[in-house]
């Protein structure tokens, strides 16, 4: 009986020491302090049997969802289907306060991006924060046809 108690005590002590040595991560430690995001944008899509393009307006929405900490947007670049830069929207960094948001619009008449256009958005904060929601909303109408959909940004390294 004594051997079992000693072994159990040894196991618990070893587990506790291992926990202390390796450390533990808290939710705050796992939050990012900066990111670069790829956000799909479609300035047009195709419909019908003849692959007729339907022009769309694109709204890029950047929403700081952290209720306590500001973030700084450092890059908002719009790229065409084949990759080249069409437009750099930021001339200087932009601060979004807690729960603040910013939009950038590609008008429906602007078809330079194509069906594979995208935004590259970079942001940073002075400390780890809830990462912003960065997404595009595409809307288009033609005759009796109306379409709308969204795309969410994905972190790239």
Rounded to whole angstroms, how far apart are CA atoms 113 and 70? 31
Structure pTM? 0.79
Q: Which residues of the chain have pLDDT under 50?
A: 17-18
Q: Report the half-sphere exposure of 116 (CA within 13 A, side-chain side).
A: 5
Residue 17 confidence (pLDDT): 47
Residue 103 confidence (pLDDT): 99
pLDDT tens, 115-157? Answer: 999 999 999 999 999 999 999 999 998 878 789 999 999 999 9
CA 93 centroid distance within chain: 17
Residue 152 confidence (pLDDT): 98
| Domain segments of the chain as ranges | 2-156
Nearest to 76 by CA among 63, 64, 94: 94
């Amino acid at each position: 009986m004594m051997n079992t108690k000693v072994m159990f005590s040894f196991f618990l002590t070893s587990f506790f020491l291992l926990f202390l040595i390796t450390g533990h991560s808290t939710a705050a430690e796992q939050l990012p302090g900066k990111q670069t995001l790829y956000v799909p944008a479609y300035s047009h899509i195709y419909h019908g049997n003849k692959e007729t393009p339907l022009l769309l307006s694109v709204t890029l929405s950047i929403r700081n969802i952290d209720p306590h900490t500001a973030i700084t947007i450092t890059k908002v670049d719009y790229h065409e289907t084949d990759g080249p830069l069409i437009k750099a929207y930021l001339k200087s960094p932009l601060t979004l306060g807690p729960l603040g948001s910013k939009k950038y619009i590609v008008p429906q008449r602007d078809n330079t991006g194509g069906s594979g256009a995208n935004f590259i958005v970079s942001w940073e904060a002075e400390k780890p924060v809830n990462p912003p929601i960065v997404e595009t909303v595409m809307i288009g109408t033609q005759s009796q046809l109306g379409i709308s959909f969204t795309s969410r940004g994905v972190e790239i390294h």
